[in-house]
Amino acid sequence: MAPKTFLKPRKNRIVVLEDLNFVWDEPELMELAELWEQEYSVMYISDQLGRDTDEVIIGLIHLAREDMISQRRGGLLNGL
């Protein structure tokens, strides 16, 4: 544990993104990867999967970190 001199008391803590669902079923992730590889937009994918756009983006980040999707021209922002 760090010495108390390095610990700063936290005030006004905020849990970010608590309204998002970070849980994905494996088939959902596979469908997300397939739609991404077919170059559908994030908005389209969000509608198809019935998920919040931010949840789709988090799912894509996960898939990218696991090397399960490829980069595409324009990247994520072009996919919005």
8 A C-beta contact, residue 53 and residue 43: yes
- Angstrom distance (rounded) from CA 13 to CA 10: 7
| Domain extent for 41 | 25-78
- Assess whether pLDDT exceeds 90 at residue 38: yes
How many domains is the chain partitioned into structurally? 1
Residue 72 lies in a domain: yes
pTM over 0.75: yes
The number of beta carbons lying within 10 Å of the beta carbon of residue 23 is 7
Confidence of residue 77 (pLDDT cuts 50, 70, 90): confident
**Which of the 8 DSSP states describes residue 13?**
-
Confidence of residue 12 (pLDDT cuts 50, 70, 90): confident
**Which of the 8 DSSP states describes residue 6?**
G
Residue 51 lies in a domain: yes
